[in-house]
Structure 1
Amino acid sequence: MDIRNFFVKKSRLEDSNNSHVTIPKSNDHQAGDDNVQIASTSSNYKNQNTPAPSDLVGMGKLIKQVELKTYPKQANGRSFHSDWYKKFKWLEYSVQSDAAFCYACRQFQPFANKEKTYTETGYRNWKNALDSKNGFPKHENTEVHITSMKMWKEKLARQNTGISVSTLVNHNILEKHRYYIKSIAEIIQFLAINELALRGAYEAEEHAERSLFSNLFKFTLKKDTLLSECAQHIPKNANYTSPAIQNEIIEILSDMVRESVVADIRNADVPWFTLMEDGTRDKNNRENISIAIRYVKNGKVFEELDAKNFTDLTLDIMEKNNLDTSRLLSQCYDGASVMSGKRGGVAALIQKKLKRNVPYVHCANHRLHLVVIKMVSDVAKIKHFFDQCILLHTFFQHGKVAAIYEGKSIVRVLDQRWSGHLAIVNVISSNFKEILKTLDAIIKSDKFTGEDVAKCIGLKSVMLGIEFRFSLMLMRNIL
């Protein structure tokens, strides 16, 4: 999957898609000067989502000035008047909240105004609506509103002439900016594919966060001369490296993967598929739901995952992705009552929604998982073994210890995921000598505290013990 092609196609589509939004003629102090800088339209108003009433027009839509025969009256007998539209061309009215809003500020600078009355909550002080100190005239003379009106007028001028932003910008500069954005997307794609956190690790001793994303981006700048040249022309206030941009790119990547999966399912060898679903809590006690579609293509069985919610959202996902629920052959979940319950479980609810029988099968892997959990909880020696593995992980995460350790990183263990138990067993088994070597080095070193040395002596003694080594080999074979 080439993310560069995706962004090229997306940017060309946006360049050619000019929506038609009109602006009424307004006073000079509202519309502002005709010589508007192109940078003033750089805010991506299409992606901004203010919590304004739902009956107001969406981003990029024509202004809609609602005219009613009678408007709701407040306790003081005052109400909104449609005559105000003639004087204030930017004014719009929400029937849902019985409040007035500013179309220009909502469309172009919804987050620039600290006072959210005209973009989010709405103005309802009808008695003072025409007052120069408290009403519409006061808002009309604010810097944010004047700038918004300029942006609105400039947008209209571009649309009337059929000129897009991309054609107003030098073609070479535009290509450099696109290359810059694509490079950022590729870095995020690399980290996502390799299951690496963008944030990285926090260095307690230096009180600094070593962000993998920023470090990899800096490294790429050194290696890629074209990217380095592009970065020199990027405005300092628009580096496109913020967490919000990173999350947006991750969401785009998610959409690309989902589209690819759906395409594969539609082109499968047979039109039938199986639904599998499971949920677990992470270390922050947040529920993570996994929905899997199992299908056959080119004679091979595939399983594709997508994190969402239960039941209604499950069917909603399939509907949004145009997956025919009539082709749902069976369901596969764990044995928890919330999933397999005969009346209130996901399996039963899906059958009720679809109004037909969709057989439920208890996940074979989960049944094996339950056997492993039972064994570990009943055998004290095995439970102690994994507790000792966790101690090794915690100790080797310290910066000073990790700096002298030459083996593979000892992974974290989560009770909900036994693949993590297998991973830590494999790491300790394959790096047994390197771990002992590091412990010996700390014991002999004078750069560590007495507490660290005591921990090393204890961990070394445990690792060399027959019970630890036997448990290590046993669990490696079982898991």
Structure 2
Amino acid sequence: MDSAFTLNGFSDWKHAVEMGKGLNKHAASKEHMLCATMWKDKGMRIATGREVSTLVNAEQLQRNRYYLSSIVDVIEFLAVNHLPFRGDNDSYASTSDDGCGLFLSMFEYTLRKDPVLATIAQSIPHNARYTSHEIQNELLDIMSTMVTEHIVTEVGESFYTIKVDGTRDPTGRENISIVVRFINESYEPTERLLTIATADQGDAATLTDTIVEELSKAGLSPRRIISQVYDGASLMSGKHGGVQKRLQEKLQRDIPYVHCFNHQLHLVVSHALAAEQAVLDFFSTCNILYKFCRRPTVAILYKGERLKRLLEQRWTGHFGTVSVVLRSFDDLVTLLKEIDSQRTYGADVRVEPAGLLRTMSEPSFRFIAEMVHSILSYLDPPNTMLQ
């Protein structure tokens, strides 16, 4: 038997020809001879200590690693702090230009603060700068994989609960967050965001398949799911066609579904607040205030605390809004008076602050703010606990 065919998994010459997908005998033989030669060459390099990594000067190898580790540090910092990477320009030569993005700007700043790195960068070949967006994305993928592997190691052979929620992005795709809850080695309940998957469709069947595929791809066995937690939407909680039912059918066993307790609390509070028209009017005014203060010409004058965006199904947004309004009440009134009195602003701009100022000047506005804040503050501890 020819060793060339053995190394490549073929038992004889006929098998090599059959697996060659149309290659003639000469081509198949030549191809496997080449592979065998390369394999033998690799074995010889390993045996003689002449691998590629050892052929590079040790000092140069250390410099290259120092250079690349600096790039990794910048990428890690931007990723952890949820900051954008790129700007209008995306080339190493644009590091000192405006619009080059945070990644190149931070890397250029690092070069100025680290003389050793600056010296190393001068000797790096232009075709190996490792600053392109392809390299950035590849390093982010590696970091993401490392985090996922750590989570899977944490879970180990434990049974776990899945908590899933989804939302559509501006392109119409469904973004699905998958959280696993388990007992760690210290017997403490632990939650980890495993992944955020995307799906072109948002129906129950697609979501169910996506959940199972993502768990399997990460290295967790779907067979170890002991319960499932979603919101109360029929798409997720439906007893006949929802995700909770389809997941049980797919895995062919009972998996109890639990309506998220924190979500139930939010729904109860939001519905209770909506039962009183005066409270609804109060939050409508807060929402108008939020949008008004976000105008560029207004934001530059506002000295108070930034207002919170109202979330229809999350009373924590209402609580945050009321808290800021009470703490920055005087600053908001001053802002509205200033814009209302200045003729430099057009009538269309001055009309809105005039109405807001009149509403905020009414005693009922401050009273409702204090009352709602007092009630919601009692619910903040259970909200934190249920999270």
TM-score range, shorter-chain basis? 0.5 to 0.7
Matches within 5 A, 1:198-347: 198=85, 211-235=101-125, 239-266=129-156, 271-282=158-169, 285-297=172-184, 298-306=186-194, 307-308=196-197, 310-347=207-244
1:336 alignment partner AA? A
| TM-score relative to the length of structure 1 | 0.56
1:303 partner SS = strand
Residues 136-158 of structure 1, C-alpha deviation per residue, up to 9 Å, x if partnerless?
Answer: xxxxxxxxxxxxxxxxxx99988
Matches within 5 A, 1:44-443: 82=24, 85=27, 161=45, 163-198=50-85, 211-235=101-125, 239-266=129-156, 271-282=158-169, 285-297=172-184, 298-306=186-194, 307-308=196-197, 310-375=207-272, 377-415=274-312, 419-439=316-336
Cα distance, 1:424–1:323 mapped onto 2, change above 3 Å: same
- Structure number with the bigger relative contact order (C-alpha 8 A, sep ≥ 6) is 1
8 Å CA contact 2:340, 2:354 repeated in 1:
yes
Segments of 5+ residues of structure 2 without an aligned counterpart are 5-15, 32-37, 88-97, 199-206, 381-387
Aligned match of 1:75: none
In structure 1, C-alpha distance between the alignment counterparts of 2:323 and 2:174, rounded to whole Å: 28
Aligned match of 2:11: none
In structure 2, C-alpha distance between the alignment counterparts of 1:430 and 1:210, rounded to whole Å: 39
The alignment-based identity, stated in percent, is 37
Residues 392-434 of structure 1, C-alpha deviation per residue, up to 9 Å, x if partnerless?
Answer: 4444444454445444444445546554444444444444444
Cα distance, 1:211–1:169 mapped onto 2, change above 3 Å: same
8 Å CA contact 2:282, 2:368 repeated in 1:
yes
Cα distance, 1:457–1:371 mapped onto 2, change above 3 Å: same
Aligned match of 2:366: 469
Offset of 1:265 from its aligned partner?
A: 1.8
1:343 alignment partner AA? H
Root-mean-square deviation (CA, aligned residues, Å) is: 4.5
Segments of 5+ residues of structure 1 without an aligned counterpart are 1-21, 23-65, 72-79, 90-153, 201-207
Offset of 1:347 from its aligned partner?
A: 1.4
In structure 1, C-alpha distance between the alignment counterparts of 2:117 and 2:338, rounded to whole Å: 43
Offset of 1:197 from its aligned partner?
A: 4.4
1:272 alignment partner AA? F
In structure 2, C-alpha distance between the alignment counterparts of 1:417 and 1:282, rounded to whole Å: 19
Residues 103-154 of structure 1, C-alpha deviation per residue, up to 9 Å, x if partnerless?
Answer: xxxxxxxxxxxxxxxxxxxxxxxxxxxxxxxxxxxxxxxxxxxxxxxxxxx9
1:308 partner SS = strand
**Higher-helix-fraction structure:** 2
8 Å CA contact 1:68, 1:82 repeated in 2:
no
Cα distance, 1:331–1:246 mapped onto 2, change above 3 Å: same
Cα distance, 1:176–1:423 mapped onto 2, change above 3 Å: farther
Offset of 1:263 from its aligned partner?
A: 1.9
8 Å CA contact 1:280, 1:416 repeated in 2:
no
Residues 361-402 of structure 1, C-alpha deviation per residue, up to 9 Å, x if partnerless?
Answer: 111112223224434555444444444444444444444544
2:181 partner SS = strand
Aligned match of 1:30: none
Cα distance, 1:341–1:465 mapped onto 2, change above 3 Å: same
Offset of 1:316 from its aligned partner?
A: 2.9
8 Å CA contact 2:266, 2:314 repeated in 1:
no
